[in-house]
């Protein structure tokens, strides 16, 4: 039986954690609860003890009749509960998580049992934030969330809506059913790509002008890297061809580093025929300078050359591979648009020979460089809109779709 350690922090949404407990239990998951002292002002520990049948950790104390029975696994009588709690669970889920607790975890502060457990836990950590919209949008909160994501912490995005304080905006705890679904997905060790060979492109390409300058775009590579990591976890034999990004290579993935569109095409051509699934997330530059200057162009002396850089078209990697797709091979393309999202994606689906186009709007802080995305899946069967979600979550959703094609 899988075990979730549920962390509950001091927030008006703490009562919704009871629904999370019930949802997990209905799915056959054992739940243990650790609460901050502030959380007990909103929901009593006895409530969680009654729901779970397990001792409830509050501070460094235990609540409920079962707390009187030492069990040596993070229960009463355990001299180091912050160690055993996180190591005996398959997932540490904090829902709701306040800005304060999130900041402490990001900063490595361990001043109560919950934050000490987060620091010592070997189980994956998942956070469902809940707070006022202005607290959520504050730069400090966003920096803490970004820092935790970089460390591999999964987030269940807060909802938009009417908040307990009367404000309206993002910050409301995600629906308990959504939290349960995300937790169950994290617990599931899917192997639906076992024996499959998966080829993924990611990041931007760069096209040099001279030794100091180049043409590129805003792609961070986060979606492609998330897809590669998720595909590998599902048992796939994954090759990732990536342009220059500021991301570490995923574990258990063959990672091929390239710079230009032509280098990416060559790497893809060498591997495409052996792939069962090919996912082209890379933002390939449409054009490159016609001529490369072997020396740095100078202001003044080279103003004419700098002011008029002639471009020639780069190869269309998705169209090239789509044209040579074999029966049974799945090809997925991505489309970044600023308008007419569905219409443009449908045109790309037909023109490029793809089985699926994942389309999103860009600009105004959307998609490029962010940790979240809101996309439209366009296939010959129609369009499916997906809500805003973490790119790691999007990777899982997308591979769920592809695994059954």
**Quick check: 171 pLDDT over 90?**
no
User: CA-to-CA distance for 292 and 207, rounded, in angstroms?
Assistant: 9
Mark whether 59 and 201 lie in a shared domain: no
Beta-strand relationship, 311-313 and 287-289: antiparallel
Mark whether 263 and 289 lie in a shared domain: yes
Task: Choose the final residue of a domain: 149, 165, 187.
Answer: 187
Identify whether 384 is part of a domain: yes
Q: Is 110 helix (H, G, I), strand (E, B) or coil?
A: coil
* Residues facing residue 215 across a β-bridge: 207
Mark whether 384 and 292 lie in a shared domain: yes
Mark whether 181 and 136 lie in a shared domain: yes
- C-beta separation of 143 from 178 below 8 A: no
Q: Computed over its alpha carbons, how large is the radius of gyration of the chain?
A: 24
Q: Is 143 helix (H, G, I), strand (E, B) or coil?
A: helix
CATH number at residue 324: 3.40.50.10300
Percent of the chain at pLDDT exceeding 70: 90
pLDDT confidence band for 83 (50 / 70 / 90): low
* Residues facing residue 61 across a β-bridge: 58
**Which has more pLDDT, 43 or 387?**
43
Per-residue pLDDT of 323-369, as tens digits, reads 999 999 999 999 988 899 999 999 999 999 999 999 998 877 777 87
Mark whether 217 and 123 lie in a shared domain: no
Residues 6+ away with beta carbon under 8 Å from 134: 167, 169
Left if phi > 0, otherwise alpha if psi is -120 to 50, otherwise beta: which for 108? left
User: CA-to-CA distance for 360 and 160, rounded, in angstroms?
Assistant: 20
**Which has more pLDDT, 3 or 206?**
206
Identify whether 356 is part of a domain: yes
Count how many domains the chain has: 2
User: What is the per-residue pLDDT for 161?
Assistant: 73
Measured in degrees and rounded to the nearest 5, phi and psi for residue 93 equal -110, 120
Lowest mean pLDDT of 92-96, 185-189, 359-363, name the range: 185-189
Instruction: State the sign of the Cα–Cα–Cα–Cα dihedral 50, 51, 53, 55.
Output: negative
Identify whether 15 is part of a domain: yes
pLDDT confidence band for 76 (50 / 70 / 90): very low
* Residues facing residue 378 across a β-bridge: 357, 383
Considering the entire predicted model, what is its pTM?
0.64
**Quick check: 72 pLDDT over 70?**
no
**Quick check: 186 pLDDT over 60?**
yes
Percent of the chain at pLDDT exceeding 90: 63
Measured in degrees and rounded to the nearest 5, phi and psi for residue 117 equal -65, -40
Mark whether 22 and 164 lie in a shared domain: yes
**Which has more pLDDT, 379 or 70?**
379
Mark whether 120 and 244 lie in a shared domain: no
Identify whether 280 is part of a domain: yes
User: What is the per-residue pLDDT for 215?
Assistant: 93
Identify whether 399 is part of a domain: yes
Lowest mean pLDDT of 56-65, 266-275, 342-351, name the range: 56-65
User: What is the per-residue pLDDT for 363?
Assistant: 74
Mark whether 306 and 390 lie in a shared domain: yes
Other Cβ atoms less than 10 A from the Cβ of 392: the count is 22
User: What is the per-residue pLDDT for 189?
Assistant: 64
pLDDT confidence band for 305 (50 / 70 / 90): low
User: What is the per-residue pLDDT for 303?
Assistant: 65
**Quick check: 404 pLDDT over 80?**
no
The DSSP line for 358-394 is EEEE-BTTBSTT-SEE--EEEETTEEEE--SEEHHHH
Identify whether 192 is part of a domain: no
The token pair that represents 375 in the structure block: 């996309």
Q: Which domain holds residue 39?
A: 3-187
Mark whether 181 and 55 lie in a shared domain: yes
Per-residue pLDDT of 197-256, as tens digits, reads 999 999 999 999 989 889 999 999 999 999 999 999 899 999 999 999 999 999 999 999
Mark whether 171 and 222 lie in a shared domain: no
Is the preceding omega at residue 96 within 30 degrees of 0, hence cis? Answer: yes
* Catalytic residue status for 165: yes
Lowest mean pLDDT of 23-37, 66-80, 301-315, name the range: 66-80
Alpha carbon 18 to chain centroid, angstroms:
26
Burial environment of residue 319 by CB neighbours within 10 A (0 to 12, 13 to 18, 19 or more): middle
Task: Choose the final residue of a domain: 187, 218, 248.
Answer: 187
Identify whether 48 is part of a domain: yes
CATH number at residue 120: 3.40.50.1950
Identify whether 81 is part of a domain: yes
User: CA-to-CA distance for 49 and 215, rounded, in angstroms?
Assistant: 59
The token pair that represents 282 in the structure block: 């890379």
Task: Choose the final residue of a domain: 157, 187, 217.
Answer: 187
Q: Which of 11, 18, 97, 165 is catalytic?
A: 165
Mark whether 262 and 153 lie in a shared domain: no
Mark whether 399 and 259 lie in a shared domain: yes
User: CA-to-CA distance for 167 and 207, rounded, in angstroms?
Assistant: 47
- C-beta separation of 241 from 318 below 8 A: no
């Amino acid at each position: 039986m899988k075990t979730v350690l549920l962390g509950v922090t001091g927030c008006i949404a703490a009562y919704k954690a009871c629904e999370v407990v019930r949802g997990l239990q209905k799915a056959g998951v054992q739940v243990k609860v650790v609460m901050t002292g502030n959380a007990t002002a909103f929901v009593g520990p006895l409530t969680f003890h009654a729901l779970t049948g397990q001792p409830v950790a509050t501070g460094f104390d235990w609540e409920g009749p079962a707390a009187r029975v030492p069990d040596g696994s993070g229960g009463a009588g355990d001299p180091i509960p912050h160690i055993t709690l996180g190591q005996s669970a398959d997932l540490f889920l904090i829902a709701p998580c306040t800005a304060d607790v999130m900041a402490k975890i990001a900063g490595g502060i361990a001043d109560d049992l919950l934050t000490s457990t987060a620091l010592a836990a070997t189980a994956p950590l998942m956070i469902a934030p809940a707070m006022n919209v202005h607290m959520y949008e504050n730069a400090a909160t966003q920096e803490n969330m970004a820092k935790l994501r970089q460390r591999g912490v999964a987030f269940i995005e807060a909802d938009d809506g009417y908040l307990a304080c009367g404000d309206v905006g993002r910050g409301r705890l995600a629906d308990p059913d959504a939290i349960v679904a995300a937790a169950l997905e994290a617990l599931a060790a899917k192997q639906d790509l076992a024996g499959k060979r998966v080829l993924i492109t990611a990041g931007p390409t760069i096209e040099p002008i001279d030794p100091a300058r180049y043409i590129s775009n805003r792609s961070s590579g986060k979606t492609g890297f998330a897809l590669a990591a998720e595909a590998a976890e599902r048992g796939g034999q994954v090759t990732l061809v990536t342009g220059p990004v500021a991301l570490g290579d995923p574990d258990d993935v063959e990672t091929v580093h390239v710079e230009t569109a032509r280098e990416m095409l060559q790497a893809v051509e060498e591997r495409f025929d052996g792939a069962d699934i090919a996912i082209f997330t890379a933002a390939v530059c449409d054009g490159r300078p016609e001529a490369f200057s072997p020396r740095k162009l100078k202001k003044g002396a080279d103003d004419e050359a700098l002011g008029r850089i002639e471009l020639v078209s780069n190869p269309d990697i998705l169209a090239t591979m789509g044209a040579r797709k074999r029966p049974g091979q799945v090809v997925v393309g991505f489309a970044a648009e600023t308008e007419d999202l569905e219409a443009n994606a449908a045109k790309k689906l037909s023109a490029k020979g793809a089985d699926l186009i994942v389309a999103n709007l860009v600009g105004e802080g959307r998609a490029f460089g962010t940790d979240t995305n809101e996309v439209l899946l366009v296939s010959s069967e129609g369009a499916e809109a997906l809500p805003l979600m973490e790119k790691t979550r999007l990777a899982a959703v997308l591979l769920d779709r592809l695994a059954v094609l």
